[in-house]
Amino acid sequence: MITISEVAEYCNVSESTVSRVVNGSTKISRATTDVVLKAIKELGYVPTRKKKEKSKSEELLLVMPNTSLYTLGTTVQEMSLTLYESEYDIRIVNLHQERLITPEIARQLCKKNTAGIILYGCIVDEEAAGVFYAQQVPTIVQQGDTSQLVSVCVNNYNGMRDAVLYVLSRDYTDIALVGWSPNDFNIRARTDSYRNTLDEAGIDSSRILMTELDIQGGYTAMKCLYEQGLPEVVVFAADILAYGGIKFLHEKGIRYPEDIGLIGFDDAYLSEVLGLTSMYQLLQENARLVIENLLWMITHKTVSPPKEILLTPRLVVRNSLR
């Protein structure tokens, strides 16, 4: 089992620094924090603390329509670190592809005797939100769609705009977008931003392919683009789609950025390895803000009025564009 001293030695910092990072101290620099968190993940270090029997009222529900999301690991890890010194643990509730929180689902969640609820990637209308207010169960929406509760979300529109503007700055003019289900509120915002930004630049914005949100979907989309005639650059609305596209290009012996440019959106786990330029979604910062806001509600025994907290993704430049 990896110890805190081994993590400290690996990072060339003190044990107290590792402890402070684990405990969510804001007095440690961002650079040092990132180094320590990366080491914790690479070494498989699991912080230990005194265990006690937990009641359901000391649990936070993380409610998700899809527990196979590749962002789940980072989200739960960051939440756990933020909660390290608190009495709360996280329990995941799988809605099995259901994204809409109906009043009935809201009532069922409130009956679970939980300290607070995180609705990840969910849609919450006024009637459903009213259930959480009426039951006074602290609730927050993460990466979801609502104007009725406190929500912490990525700014999809501004993030995609920054991505497209960077592509244009590299002198690309023949551009395609690969996305997924147009019914998803995240892709709608990214697609609207893509179109508007290219239209403003006087560049054709019509080359858009929608596919399944997985590696095979990206592979299929890139194959379709290949058969149509590859563009100069492909903007992937999610990194997992880019991974499938890269797989197809590799099979055909097509190189990036020499033969085609690529940019993703997420800066997910394989992007650094593949050299993919992408938009970092600030998942760690997002998770911390969710927990901090939810703990404030729990402490004050209230459900806060609606408030939208938007985090604009940050461009991470690698070598997939010329």
CA–CA separation, 296 and 280 (whole Å): 27
Q: How many CB atoms lie within 10 A of CB 16?
A: 11
Residue type, 72: L
Give the pLDDT band of residue 135 (cuts 50, 70, 90): very high
The 10s digit of each residue's pLDDT in 193-246 is 999 999 999 999 999 999 999 999 999 999 999 999 999 999 999 999 999 999
Do the Cβ atoms of 90 and 67 come closer than 8 Å?
no
Round to whole Å and give the CA distance between 298 and 214: 36
Q: Give CATH superfamily name and number for 156-280.
A: Response regulator (3.40.50.2300)
How far is residue 255's CA from residue 57's CA, in Å, rounded to a whole number?
54
What stretch(es) of the chain map to CATH 3.40.50.2300?
Answer: 56-154+283-312, 156-280
Report pLDDT digits (tens) over 64-90: 998 777 777 778 888 887 887 677 889
Owner of token pair 């938007």: 310
pTM here is: 0.78
Instruction: Check: CB of residue 320 under 8 Å from CB of residue 257.
Output: yes
Would you mind telling me the total number of residues written for the chain in this entry?
Answer: 322
Radius of gyration of the chain (CA): 21
Q: What is the DSSP annotation of 255-312? A: -TTTT-EEE-SB--TTHHHHT--EEE--HHHHHHHHHHHHHHHHHHTS-PPPEEEEE-
For range 8-29, the mean pLDDT? 82
Q: Assign domain 56-154+283-312 to a CATH class.
A: alpha beta
